[in-house]
Amino acid sequence: MVIGHSVNSFPKDSAMTYYKKPFAASIAFFCASVSLLVPGMAHAANTPTSCRSYESWVGKDKVNIVDFRGQDESSPFRFRLKAHSFESVKTDGFMGPITRGELTFSYPRQAKPEVPYVKDAPYPAPYTRGPAFGEKVRYQAREIACNVFEVHWKEPFKGDTVTHVQDFNRQHVCTNITNLNREVIPAGFDQFDLSQQLNNKALFPAGSPLMKDGFGWYNLCGKMAQSRERDRVWEDKLGFLVYEVK
C-alpha cells in the first residue's frame, strides 16, 4: 500500500493545505464570500424564495462552472461540471433528499491553440496544456440545507476522491480532495495499534508522511455559476476544451 501525491502538480507556495489518509473521504464545509464567475451567467438570489432540488439547479441543458482561483488570476483551478442523470434515492433519515447520477468534469485545457501535453511539465501545465481532459463519474448529492448540497464522487481513472459543498443561495462552493496513494507504507504499520502508527520512528524515520508539504490532500473555496450548455461559456468565453466520453 502506498500513500501520497506527486508534488509536481501544485505550486510550493500555494495556499492549499495537504493531507491524505489511505482511504479517507473528503469533506469541507466553509465557504468564501465571492461574486459571479462570468458576467451574464445565471445565478441565484442571496435570499431564495423557495428550496429547489439539485436537478433544478444543474439539470437539463445547464452547465456548472466552479472557480477556486480566489484572488489569484494565474491559478488554473476552475472546472466545468455537466450532470447527465438524476436518480432520487431512498433517504437514510439524515438531512435532506439524496440524488445520484453521472456527471462529467473538464479541466481548463487551452483550446485556441491547443498545446501538447508534456509529462512532468511544471505547474500549471498539467491543468492547462494538452487535449481535452476530464472524466465521467458517478456522483451523490445530498441536500444539507435549503439550496445547499454536499456532492461527492470518486475518480476511478485519475485516482482522486472529491467532495463539494455547493451553496446555490450565494453561489459559493468548497471542495476537499484526496489524491492517489504514492508513498510506500511499511507492512508493520497498523492504524489501530498506538505503537505502530505513523509516528513510529522505526517505521517512518522521517516522521509522519501526512505532515509533508506535498502530501495529497487539499481544500479550496470559491464561486460557481450556471449557464446553458448551448451558450458555450466554457468554450467561447473562457477558451477551454470540453472533455467528452468517447
CB 238 within 8 A of CB 227: no
Cell matching residue 120: 512532468
User: Where do we find the cell 464561486?
Assistant: 223
Q: Model confidence at 1, in pLDDT bands (50, 70, 90)? A: very low
Segment 159-181 mean pLDDT = 95
Which neighbouring-strand residues pair with 89?
98
The pLDDT of residue 43 is 44
Residue 51 phi/psi, 5-degree rounding, is -90, 130
pLDDT at 47: 55
Q: How much of the chain, in percent, has pLDDT values that exceed 70? A: 80
